[in-house]
């Protein structure tokens, strides 16, 4: 008798939360679903923000993009916090091994002076671009409403801080941790003609108000040309300069970029797929920004691997955008 009672007492009375069940049905939900859907406040806000009284808190009108349901944008990687840090912890462990190895064997300081200089002038200043990306993604995480969208951007923000830190460590290895190499590299960022169009672009991105325009600019357009150019094409070029060991130190960035393509592509597909109006708005932003991104990266390409490589990167981006019905310059492969 009491055994029967015990059995019924472990029968669940429901399988998941009501807000999860409304989307996915009352069946056991994944951790991603329970952690990512409909958690944010949606209505009955008490006070208008003093920093932006035109809109309410969690106001969907902070972007010109319209979605019937912003949760149509979700993460193919299904990263909730625990899954995210678990994944990055593994990546950092590998990176740590490479950095440790490089440091111990003095692989960078053994490079010719010329090559060391190239790294400080052409690669390390990208840490500042990463800080800009960090700021932009933090803004987006604060403005986006749906948790699925907001969380991808805070992960992205923290990732960019991490990448900036890895790039900085390259310089710290070169200068014996005095900071001199970082100062030198920052000097290029501030004054070298090669970096000025890029620095202007980053500063311009910091005043973009519409958060979806910003994610398009930062995570799709800038990254979409910069990562293939720097971490693939320049990487091969550095190898030809006898600096193949540097490749070990940028493995994290390559793995990371491959990983982010999954969600940025999914996000673009969902948003462009929603309506003609969205496509028109996205196209307008692309027309405005894409040439600027190209021009910002051009001096870097010219000083290293050559403009053809940038054209290839541009074409790669164009192919990605074409898949979701958007046009950009550059010859599609």
Residue numbers 4-43 binding another protein by CB under 8 A: 5-6, 8-10, 12-19, 29, 31, 34-36, 38-43
By the rule CB under 8 A, 292 interacts with another protein:
no
Q: Which of 69, 114, 203, 308 binds another protein (CB under 8 A)?
A: 203
Residue 307 beta carbon to another protein: minimum distance, rounded to whole angstroms: 24
Does 109 bind another protein (CB under 8 A)? Our answer is: yes
Mark the segment that binds another protein (CB under 8 A) among 137-145, 235-243, 314-322, 323-331. 137-145
Q: Which one among 78, 92, 247, 283 touches another protein, defined by CB under 8 A?
A: 92
Q: How far is the CB of 157 from another protein (least distance, A)?
A: 6
Give the DSSP H/E element, type plus range, for residue 333. none
Query: Smaller CB distance to another protein: residue 106 or 327?
Result: 106
In this structure, what are the phi and psi dihedrals at residue 324, rounded to the nearest 5 degrees?
-110, 20
Least Cβ distance, residue 32 to another protein (angstroms): 9
Binding-site size, another protein (CB under 8 A): 93
Does the CA dihedral 125-127-129-132 come out positive or negative? negative
Largest CA distance in the chain: 84
- Least separation in angstroms between residue 195's CB and another protein is 11
With 0-12 CB in 10 A as exposed, 13-18 as middle and 19+ as buried, what is 72? Answer: middle
Give the nearer residue to another protein in terms of CB position, either 201 or 220.
201
x/- letters, 139..178, toward another protein (CB under 8 A) = x-xxx---x--xx-xxx-xxx-xx-xx--xx--xx--xx-
Half-sphere exposure of 190 (CA within 13 A, CB side): 6
Where are the alpha helices (H) located in the chain, listed in sequence order? 2-9, 18-24, 31-36, 81-104, 113-118, 126-143, 147-174, 180-191, 196-205, 211-215, 223-227, 235-240, 246-249, 251-274, 276-303, 307-323
Residue with smaller CB distance to another protein, 108 or 272: 108
Residues 49-78 that bind another protein (CB under 8 A): 49-51, 57-58
Contact 278, 272 (CB under 8 A): yes
- The piece of 102-110, 287-295, 300-308, 314-322 that touches another protein (CB under 8 A) is 102-110
73, 270 Cβ separation under 8 angstroms: yes
Which one of 64, 135, 248, 307 is in contact with another protein (CB under 8 A)?
135
Decide if 231 contacts 253 (C-beta within 8 A): yes
Query: Which of 249, 217, 247, 219 lies closest to 233 in space, CA to CA?
Result: 247
């Amino acid at each position: 008798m009491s055994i029967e009672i015990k059995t019924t007492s472990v029968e669940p009375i429901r399988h998941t939360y009501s807000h999860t069940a409304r989307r996915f049905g009352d069946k056991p939900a994944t951790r991603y679903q329970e952690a990512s859907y409909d958690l944010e406040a949606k209505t009955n806000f008490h006070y208008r923000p003093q920093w932006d009284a035109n809109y309410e808190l969690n106001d969907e009108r902070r972007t010109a993009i319209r979605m019937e349901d912003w949760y149509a944008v979700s993460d193919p990687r299904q990263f909730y916090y625990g899954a995210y840090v678990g994944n990055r912890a593994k990546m950092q462990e590998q990176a740590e091994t490479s950095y440790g190895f490089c440091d111990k064997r003095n692989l960078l300081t053994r490079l010719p002076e010329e090559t060391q200089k190239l790294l400080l002038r052409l690669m390390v200043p990208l840490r500042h671009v990463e800080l800009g990306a960090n700021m932009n993604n933090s803004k987006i995480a604060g403005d986006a409403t749906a948790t699925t969208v907001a969380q991808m951007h805070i992960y992205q923000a923290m990732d960019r801080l991490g990448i900036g830190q890895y790039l900085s460590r390259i310089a710290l290895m070169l200068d014996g941790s005095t900071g001199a190499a970082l100062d030198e590299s920052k000097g290029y960022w501030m004054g070298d003609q090669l970096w000025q169009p890029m620095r202007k672009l980053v500063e311009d991105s910091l005043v973009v108000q519409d958060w979806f325009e910003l994610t398009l600019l930062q995570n799709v357009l800038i990254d979409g040309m910069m990562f293939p150019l720097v971490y693939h094409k320049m990487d091969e070029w550095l190898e030809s300069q006898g600096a193949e060991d540097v490749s070990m130190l940028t493995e994290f960035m390559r793995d990371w970029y491959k990983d982010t393509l999954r969600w940025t592509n999914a996000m673009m597909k969902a948003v462009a797929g929603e309506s003609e109006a969205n496509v028109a708005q996205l196209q307008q932003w692309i027309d405005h920004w894409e040439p600027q991104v190209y021009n910002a990266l051009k001096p870097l390409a010219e000083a290293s691997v050559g403009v053809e490589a940038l054209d290839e990167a541009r074409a790669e981006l164009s192919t990605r955008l074409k898949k979701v019905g958007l046009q950009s310059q550059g010859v599609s492969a």
